[in-house]
Structures are given as structure tokens and as C-alpha cells.
Structure 1
């Protein structure tokens, strides 16, 4: 006879087996959850009425307005990917830095950050920058590993920089506002760009032959015409970034409303660039539909799994397992980050967020870890999943659009230094929490998660309990 204590590890092990076999994640989650759910009913661990909560949970997912931000931001990124904005930005910025050793790499990093702030999708950034800048880097003698590495890594900045889709779903799973998640990610985003720029600066100083400047014949007219070209490409981006992020930070719009405005802004920019066609809209909507359907299916499957997992006291099992690690908070954070790092070799970031994060939250809360900081830390760690050889999606995107002369070996070896830089950022966020919390506390001067007010009111039950404002 199976006991309640062995059900959580059996469920978790069953899920791992399904994933290793290669079944789709969404259906694996649902199948394991339903199997152990009916088994638990037969064994008397809970009743059929408990599983009756499942339709209510699924309805809660479908009626969650926050999740509407995902199709809006995806549609915005899909339109901007095809409207010529990336080409204008890269060509102008590349010319601006072209005379400097490593100038093209600097341009790719800066444009990657800007594209990340207006598209929210890694695929759009990597494909756009790879198609435009990689042939130029190859033509003018860039080291192949530096060229491919900087393009793939700059595309992954999108994971951390708002309006990242990862931050939206993390905020939903952590029970924190997306605005707080975006504010907390500002510091790590800036640090990541500086780390990448610092790496290219070091290469240009110690190995300048790997990142040569552009020759004079490759440079266009300098002076005001070039500055105007860069400004003309940058201003629409800045306006769109303010439209999306500024309205969220100022409290004028919810993330869903800001995403809708961003999608409209992307359509307007495409029209201004004379790229707005029915074909573009159709392709963008198809991409949006595919990604949104994938996210919802995974979320529904994870809901089935988590409901049954909690019913067999799986949350207590995970909490006991993780909260009793040696080293307290530090031991927990080290274990979780190593676990997420290796899990990212095999799972997509959406899968990690929906499967693993809900299991980690109770232990993190019990150890008094700020959940916004914890979410941003996990986001920084999960972005390495796009750069892991040989399964990183950014490397797959780059391989798909790179010329045949570019060897896969160079793409994989070129990614390793950038994975190292991303892990350095993980360490910085762990040992310098103010890189996240500074932007949260800036508005009020206090951490909103620590405000507790006693309200003596005999009409309120349990009036001795402090009220915590999220």
C-alpha cells in the first residue's frame, strides 16, 4: 500500500520520466497529474470533490487579464521584427561605431538592448541582428566565435529587460505585480549590457585583430547626416518604450493595457516605414497564436499537476526538502540556481516557470526571501537556457539564418564566454540585492513587502494579526 509520504517524490519522478521520453510538456503534466489524482482518490488521500476544483482553476487561467499581456507583447514583437526598424537601427549604429575596434559588436549589444525593450522576444532580436550584422562581420574579418557569440547573447538580453514575457509569467506565478517585476529587472538589465560591453572592450584591447574596425570604404558619410540617421531610427523606439514601460511605471496603465498600446504602436511604426501589409499582419498573428496557445496549454497542464501535487502534500515535501538545506538562505539560493541552470539545458523557460517556480515559492517565503528579487534572480538565471550549447534556442535561431560557411562548432564555442558573463550577473544579483531592490524602493524609500500595520478593530476577526501590503 502506497503511503501519502511517497506520493510527491513518485509524482515528480513520473514527470521526469515522461519528459525524458520526449512527450510534450503540457500533456505530460496533465497526464501525470490526472493519473496520480485518480490514484489518490482510490487510496483515500482526497475525494473526488477535491478534483472538482480543477475546472474553477482552468477558468481562472482563462479569465486572468494579466495573461492577455502575452499575446499583445508577442504581436508587438512579431510586427516590429518585420517592419524594418532593426535594420535602420543596426545600420545607423554600426556606422556610428564603425571606426572603433569592436564597433560592430558594440552596435549589436546596444541595438539588442533596445530591441529587447520593444519586442520582448529572443527570436525576433537574434534573427534580425544575425541576418543584418553577421554577413558584415564576416566580410570585414571579425573572429567567427566573437561574431556569433555577441549576436546570440545580445538577443537574450530580451529575457531580462522589460517588457520580458518571462517577467510577466513569473509575476503571475509569484503573486507579485508585473510592474514590480519590471522595476526590479532594470538594474540587472543595465548591468548585463555593461558586462557585455566590458567584454568586447577587453577583447578589443588585448586581441584587437579579433574585432577590427570597419575600413574607410565601408563607412558612409559622417557628421550630421549619420547622426540624423541614428536619431531617426532611435526616436520611434524611445517613444514606443515610453508608451509601453513608462505608462506602467507611472501607474497610467496595467501591463495588459500597455501591451495593447505597444501592439498599436508597432502597427503605426510599420505603416510609417511603409512595411504594413496583410502578409505581415497575417504572419505576426500566426506567430502570436502559436506562442500563446503553447503558453496556455503548459499553464493548464501545470495547473492539473500542481493541484494534485498540493493535494498529496507535495508543497510541504518540497518546503521541508529545501528549507532544511545547510546554509539557510545562502544554501537554498545556491542549490536553486544550480538546479535551474542545469534544468535549463532541457526545458524551455515557460516550462521551468510553470513547473518548478510554484514548488520553490513556499520555501523561499518561509526563508524570508523577497519574492520580487527572487523572481528577477531566476529570470537572470533562466536566460542562460537560450545560450547553453548544444540546446540553446538562440543558437538554433542563429544556426538557421547563418551562412553555410559558419560552422556549428564556432557558434557553440562562441557562446561559452557569454554564458560565463550571464553567470557572473547571477552572482552579482545574489551578493548585491540592491541591484534589484533599489529600483523598487526608489519611489517610497521603503520595501513595500515589509510594511506591517496593526489595526485595532474588534469587528475584524483575529485583529492581532498584522496586515501585510503586497
Structure 2
């Protein structure tokens, strides 16, 4: 019970705004100090754990993919891609919304950074959709949902982190997430086209004054697709590890920026500094989470949870339901990095006791976290959208527009639970 009290105090500190690394690390130190049976000797192994974290080749992919995403964010690729994709769907009701979803999927497969994708799409696509006469709620919901596809479509940062935490192949997690991600894209596209068919005023056809040439379309669409195929293809084919492919992706992003004539010293400096800040935050959280887990496990917290699910309840589906609900609710309040480093390690022993496939379970967690990114009132993607959109769309309109996409998320999650072959199709 002391372990559960420790966990609850850490969550309360998070809710009042204490930085995650200090909340979990600080709680671990306080409990180690207050409980004589533990003492600070429990942290003797911590330096070795930290060394293992810093020398982990899998986690090296995280700053590399962040760097690639930031370079592509500043390269102007997204704007050209959206305008060119919109031209392909001109004259089709809902065509602009469909192009936003497809561009969101391509950006997700090129960058893997949700915040960057949502902000880019808000700045570029929202004015275009409102100018075309789109319903504001539909426009906001489409952009928020499409920008958050980076949570599930490889090379997702969350999949890399989950692969390390769950001790499974990141490459297999990437392959397992492909079909569920595409299923989600298909559901989004179907909803937009159906809504445009039912209510023509919600998603009118786009009319362009100038039609881009085939060469312009080729220049805008092919380079990011080639980068996406080369990065993911090298992983799926077993030619390169995720870390090696991430390094290649950074080089590819710099080359694309050079071809777009946007490569500059300032851009590289921005990407390097932001990568350093984001990576530093992630690794600080991981170190705090490691200290927390040492004390939590020593107090018998993991054993208590394992006994509760495997003996007191003893039903695998109850465990899956409780785990998914807990992750969904916690996703309102804390970031996916904290959930991955704090909550998932607690669930892994139970998952192993029930014989649940870790690849399938990891994809479920990633899809669940994506839904929590979109759910009002605390969905982070909604904050990113509102911050970038300013006064052009209200918070209520964003909330109203995102509800159908959350329902589609739940449908996609249910499909993956009912049909596990969606995960194992490419493995």
C-alpha cells in the first residue's frame, strides 16, 4: 500500500504542475529517506541504469528522428505538399479535407512529431479550408486528427520509446503499426467524403485560380515520399536498424531543405537547439522514472499489481480493458513520454503473465495515446491547434469537430483488438 501511496502522490504532483522528472525522482528520494528499510542504498544501482540509458542504441533514434522532423518542418515541404495534393482533388467535394488527411499521414511518416505536424497543418491548411467555405468544426477536427497521426504511423517517437520500455523490436513495432495507421487514415477519409455527400455546404469543392503543372506536383509529392519509403523501407527490409535509418533520415531532410532552397545556418541552429531541448527533456524524465521504479519495485508495487490482475481478477480481457482505460484517462493529464516510462513498465509484467503479445499490446497503447491527444478538454493536439489558429476558430468549434474523429479512433482500436492480424500482417 505504501507503493500505491507513492504512485498517487507522484500523480498529484504532476497535476499541480511539478515537472515530471522532478516529481517522480523527488518522490522516490523522499520515500527512500522516510522508510528506514530502504534508505538511499536503494539508489546504488542507479548510476549503472543511467549509463545503460545513455548508451542505449535504440533510444539514440529518438533525437535523430526529432532532428529530421524539425528540419522538414522548416524546409517548406509541408506547404508545397498540401497545395499540390489539394490540386489533385480539386472539383471534388471534401477533396481538400481528404488532401489534409493524406498530407498528415505523409508528414507523420516523414517526421513523427505530433506538435510540429499539428502546428504546421494549422498554419497552412486552416486558412485554406476556411477560405474554401469549409465548416469550421470539420476543418478543426480534420487538422487536429490528421496532425496526430504521427503517434501511430512509423517512425513514431512513441513506438521507439515503447520498443525500448517493453524490450521488443522497434522494427517489428513499426511494421505492426502500419496497417492500423492506414486503417485510421481510411476511416478519416471515408468520414469526410460521407459528410461532404450528406451536407454539401460543410465541405465544398476547392476551386483553384491556377492549376499546377504535372512537374510541380511531381516535385512536391515525390521527394517526401521517397524519404519516407527509404527510411521505413530500410527498417522493414532489415537493411538498417531504426537508429541507422534515423541518421539517414536526417541527411535526407537536409538534402530536401537544400533542394527547396531553405537550408540555412539559422535553420540548422534552430533544429539542433530544439532537438537538444526535447531530447534532454525525454532523458531527464527517463532518469527520474528509473529512480521512481527502483523504489516502487523495492516496496513491492509491481508485485502487488501483478497479483491483483493475474490472481484476484485472472481475466486477460479485464486487464486489457482496465489498462486501456487507465492510459486513456492519464493521457488527458500527462504526456506520452511519462506514460511510457512510468505506467507501461508496471503493466509489462502483467502482460507477460497473461501471455499477451507485446507487439500487439504496444500498438494498442500507441493508438490509445493518440486518442487521448485528441479528447477534450485536455487533448494536447487541441491546444496546439488553438494556439496556432488564434481567433479564426473557437475552442467550442474545435471540441465539436473532434468528437467524430475520436469515435473513429475508438472504432479503429476496437478493430485492432478484434482482428489482431491487422498488426501482424507485415511482420
TM-score (norm 2): 0.97
Aligned 8 A contact 2:93 2:204 in 1: yes
Match of 1:29 among 19, 24, 31: 24
How do 1:199-278 and structure 2 match up within 5 A? 199-215=191-207, 218-221=208-211, 225=213, 227-278=214-265
Match of 2:131 among 136, 139, 142: 139
Query: In 2, distance between residues paired with 1:403 and 1:347?
Result: 24
Aligned match of 2:2: 7
Aligned match of 1:39: 34
Aligned match of 1:125: 117
Unmatched segments (≥5 aa) in structure 2:
none
Aligned 8 A contact 2:32 2:42 in 1: no
Query: In 2, distance between residues paired with 1:299 and 1:151?
Result: 31
Match of 1:17 among 12, 19, 25: 12
Asked if residue 53 in structure 1 is aligned to residue 45 in structure 2, the reply is yes
- 1:157 positional shift: 0.6
- 1:333 positional shift: 0.9
Q: CA RMSD in A?
A: 1.5
Match of 2:84 among 66, 84, 92: 92
- 1:200 positional shift: 0.6
Query: In 1, distance between residues paired with 2:117 and 2:211?
Result: 27
Aligned 8 A contact 1:348 1:385 in 2: no
Aligned match of 2:374: 387
Aligned 8 A contact 2:63 2:279 in 1: yes
Query: In 2, distance between residues paired with 1:309 and 1:96?
Result: 55
How do 1:401-412 and structure 2 match up within 5 A? 401-412=388-399
Aligned match of 2:65: 73
- Provide Cα deviations, 1:267-295, integer angstroms capped at 9, x if missing partner: 01000110001111111112111110110
Aligned 8 A contact 2:123 2:388 in 1: yes
Query: In 2, distance between residues paired with 1:90 and 1:430?
Result: 33
Q: SS of the residue aligned with 2:51?
A: helix
Query: In 2, distance between residues paired with 1:50 and 1:136?
Result: 57
Query: In 2, distance between residues paired with 1:395 and 1:185?
Result: 23
Size of the aligned set, in residue pairs, is 427
Query: In 1, distance between residues paired with 2:312 and 2:304?
Result: 13
Query: In 2, distance between residues paired with 1:327 and 1:211?
Result: 49
Asked if residue 167 in structure 1 is aligned to residue 162 in structure 2, the reply is no
The 1:12/1:90 distance shift into structure 2, 3 A limit, reads same
Aligned match of 2:183: 191
The 1:327/1:187 distance shift into structure 2, 3 A limit, reads farther
- 1:330 positional shift: 1.1
- Provide Cα deviations, 1:132-156, integer angstroms capped at 9, x if missing partner: 2211111121000000110110011
- 1:47 positional shift: 6.4
Query: In 2, distance between residues paired with 1:28 and 1:322?
Result: 27
Query: In 2, distance between residues paired with 1:401 and 1:51?
Result: 43
| Larger of the two Rg values belongs to structure | 1
- 1:327 positional shift: 6.9
Aligned 8 A contact 1:95 1:220 in 2: no
Q: SS of the residue aligned with 2:391?
A: coil
Aligned match of 1:106: 98
* Structure having greater relative contact order (Cα 8 Å, sep ≥ 6): 2
Aligned 8 A contact 1:188 1:425 in 2: yes
Asked if residue 426 in structure 1 is aligned to residue 413 in structure 2, the reply is yes
Runs of 4 or more above 6 Å deviation: none
Aligned match of 1:340: 327
Query: In 2, distance between residues paired with 1:24 and 1:73?
Result: 24
Most deviating of 398-407 and 179-188? 398-407
Q: SS of the residue aligned with 1:64?
A: coil
Aligned match of 2:350: 363
Q: SS of the residue aligned with 2:175?
A: helix
